[in-house]
Structure 1
Amino acid sequence: MTLQILIVDDDPQIAEIHRHFTEKVDGFGVCGIAGNLEDAEKMSTLLKPDLILLDLYLPEGKGTQILWNLRARHQATDVILITAAKELEPLQEAIHGGVFDYILKPVMFQRFKEALERFRDYRLRMTAEATLDQHTVDRLLHPYKTATAGEPIYPKGIDALTLKKIQAVFVQPHPQGLSAEEVAAMIGAGRTTARRYLEYLVAHNELITELVYGTVGRPERRYFKQHVHPST
Structure 2
Amino acid sequence: MIEVLIIEDDRRVAEINRRFLEKMKGFKLVAIACSGEEAKEYLEVMRPQLVLLDVCLPDISGSDLVWYIRKTYQNIDIIMMTATGETGIVQEALRGGVFDYLVKPITLDRFRQSLDKYKERMQFIHSMKVMGQEEVDYLIHRGVREELEGSHTMSLPKGIDPMTLEKVERVVLGNGESGLTAEQVGRKLGASRTTARRYLEYLVSTERLRADLAYGTIGRPERRYGMKVDSM
Specify every segment of 5 or more residues in structure 2 that has no aligned partner in the other structure, as ranges: 173-178, 204-232
Distance (whole Å) between structure 1 residues aligned to residue 91 and residue 143 of structure 2: 21
RMSD: 3.4
Once the two structures are superposed, residues 75-113 of structure 1 have per-residue CA deviations (whole angstroms, 9 ceiling, x without a partner) of: 211101111113211101111111100001111000000
User: TM-score scaled to structure 1, two decimals?
Assistant: 0.67
Structure 2 residue aligned with 1:171: 182
Contact in 2 for aligned 1:147/1:153 (Cα 8 Å): no
- The structure-2 alpha-carbon separation of the partners of 1:74 and 1:32, relative to structure 1 and needing over 3 Å to count, comes to closer
Partner secondary structure for residue 88 of structure 2 = helix
Contact in 1 for aligned 2:149/2:162 (Cα 8 Å): no
Contact in 2 for aligned 1:21/1:112 (Cα 8 Å): yes
- The reply to whether residue 102 of structure 1 matches residue 113 of structure 2 is no
Residue identity in the other structure for 2:114: A
Specify every segment of 5 or more residues in structure 1 that has no aligned partner in the other structure, as ranges: 174-182, 189-193, 207-232
The Cα of 1:143 is off from its aligned counterpart by 3.0
More RCO (CA 8 Å, sep 6+): 1
Distance (whole Å) between structure 1 residues aligned to residue 10 and residue 149 of structure 2: 48
Contact in 1 for aligned 2:127/2:171 (Cα 8 Å): no
- The reply to whether residue 29 of structure 1 matches residue 28 of structure 2 is yes
Partner secondary structure for residue 4 of structure 2 = strand
The Cα of 1:39 is off from its aligned counterpart by 0.7
Map 1:1-232 to 2 at 5 A: 2-145=1-144, 146-148=146-148, 152-153=152-153, 158=163, 160=165, 162-164=167-169, 171-172=182-183, 187-188=189-190
Contact in 2 for aligned 1:121/1:159 (Cα 8 Å): no
The Cα of 1:6 is off from its aligned counterpart by 0.3
Distance (whole Å) between structure 2 residues aligned to residue 55 and residue 130 of structure 1: 34
Q: Which has the higher helix share?
A: 2
Structure 2 residue aligned with 1:176: none
Distance (whole Å) between structure 1 residues aligned to residue 170 and residue 138 of structure 2: 16
Paired residue total: 185
Of 143-152 and 28-37, more deviation after overlay is shown by 143-152
The Cα of 1:16 is off from its aligned counterpart by 1.1
Residue identity in the other structure for 1:71: R
- Quick one: percent identity of the two aligned structures? 30
Residue identity in the other structure for 2:15: E
- The structure-2 alpha-carbon separation of the partners of 1:92 and 1:27, relative to structure 1 and needing over 3 Å to count, comes to same
Once the two structures are superposed, residues 7-57 of structure 1 have per-residue CA deviations (whole angstroms, 9 ceiling, x without a partner) of: 000111111111111110111110111000001011112211111000100
Of 61-70 and 161-170, more deviation after overlay is shown by 161-170
Contact in 2 for aligned 1:101/1:115 (Cα 8 Å): yes
User: TM-score scaled to structure 2, two decimals?
Assistant: 0.67
